[in-house]
Amino acid sequence: MVYKVIGLMSGSSLDGLDIAYVQLDEVRGDWGYQLLFANCIPYPEEWKQHLLQAPNLSVGHFLKLHTEYGRYLGERVQEFITLHGLQHQVHFIASHGHTVFHEPASHTTFQLGDGAALAAVAGLPVINDLRALDVAYGGQGAPIVPIGDKLLFSDYEYLLNIGGITNLTVRHENSLVAFDIAIANQALNTLAEREGKIMDEGGEMAASGSLLPDVFDELNQAEYYKLPAPKSLSNAMAQDIVFPSLLESSHTIKDLLHTLVEHIAHQVAVAAGHYPHGKEKATMLITGGGAFNNYLVARIEKALEPLHISVYVPRPDVVKYKEAVVMALIGTLRWREEANVLSSVTGATKDSCGGALWIA
């Protein structure tokens, strides 16, 4: 079977809306993909503020923003289809939305972006609300990408995504384990912005800084790191771990960036070390915006050396759009009424086929 799907992803780093037009091929249970077209649409400052402030809105204003953002997504999809000449070629849209509340302990998660509004504006079927059923079954609802790691990226023992929050998928004892590790680009970018930059390009500022041992030790003491998987971090939880130590500090930004990079690399190595590969050598695939941070990747690689894990950064379009590709896959599995969220990853009572379907 062949499916031509638009996947939408908006991550916690707020760098923009990822749109990927993907052809997914399934033959007797084996899946493959082709990433045909992809764009990242940067958020205007107004929309960045809307998404940041969403959790603080009154119910009425929140619901109106939910609808407005759904329409915004639909308009961006229309523009994408026109730009690439995809009229009458898209089977459906799979939209992650933008996470504004995530509290699995209360069986609650919410991704902004009304599916009905998106479907109405784009004029195509839409599958969204991809995490809610897993959370209802007692799961973390995150990470959600490991079904893609299982079906599309099966050549790697470890798969690390470095976005606003970094998360890891591990092939362990004939199953998949996945969990959020630590904050990443959210904090790195916030520090860089204090120097008037959007980001620390290539990790240049971090590379020129020095380690702050006291800050490094303080960051690593967070209780979250002691918890076993399955576990996940909301934006607020991740920020609470590092922001007090970083943003209330009088140290230089370069030293704070350097220390934060060392913290992330250390936690990645600790996380991977809990799941030994038992081979002479294993490989970790690194994707997400943080994969372009050369210094961060180099420090992760160094931290993994004792574990005999090498790192591999794929071609840039896969680095940037892997999550949007996997959203397309998750939507396709929902379309087929097959499991698209794995309980071995999230801790739910069962695998689930999550997603609300809106037929335009």
Q: How much of the chain, in percent, has pLDDT values that exceed 90?
A: 90
- Give yes or no for residue 12 having a pLDDT over 80: no
Considering only residues 345 and 86, tell me which one the structure prediction assigns the higher pLDDT.
Answer: 86
Domain boundaries, position 63: 2-139+322-358
Query: Dihedrals φ, ψ of 291, to 5°?
Result: -70, -20
Q: If you average pLDDT over residues 53-82, what whole number do you get?
A: 97
Is residue 42 reached through a cis peptide bond, with omega within 30 degrees of 0 on the bond before it?
A: no
> What is the pLDDT of the chain when averaged over all its residues?
95
51 and 115 belong to one structural domain = yes
Task: Check whether residue 196 and residue 308 sit in a common domain.
Answer: yes
Q: What is the pTM of this model?
A: 0.89
Reported confidence tier of residue 262, pLDDT bands at 50, 70, 90:
very high
Q: What angle, 0 to 180 degrees and rounded to 10, lies between the N-to-C axes of helices 235-247 and 253-273?
A: 140
Q: What is the pLDDT of residue 248?
A: 87
Q: How many C-alpha atoms does 163 have within 13 Å on its Cβ side? A: 28
With both helix axes pointing from N to C terminus, report the angle between 235-247 and 185-193 in degrees, rounded to the nearest 10. Answer: 40
Coil, strand or helix at 325: helix
Number of domains in the chain: 2
Q: Are residues 157 and 201 in the same domain?
A: yes
The domain that holds 120 is classified in CATH as 3.30.420.40
CA distance 161 to 165: 8
111 and 20 fall within a common domain: yes
| pLDDT tens track for 113-166 | 999 999 999 999 999 999 999 999 999 998 899 999 999 999 999 999 999 999
User: What is the pLDDT, as a whole number, of residue 180?
Assistant: 93
The pLDDT tens digits of the residues spanning 13-53 come to 788 999 999 999 999 999 999 999 999 999 999 999 999 99
Out of 61-70, 172-181, 262-271, 313-322, which region has the weakest mean confidence (pLDDT)?
172-181
Q: Are residues 233 and 175 in the same domain?
A: yes
Q: What pLDDT, in 10s, does the model give residues 89-100?
A: 999 999 999 999
287 and 190 belong to one structural domain: yes
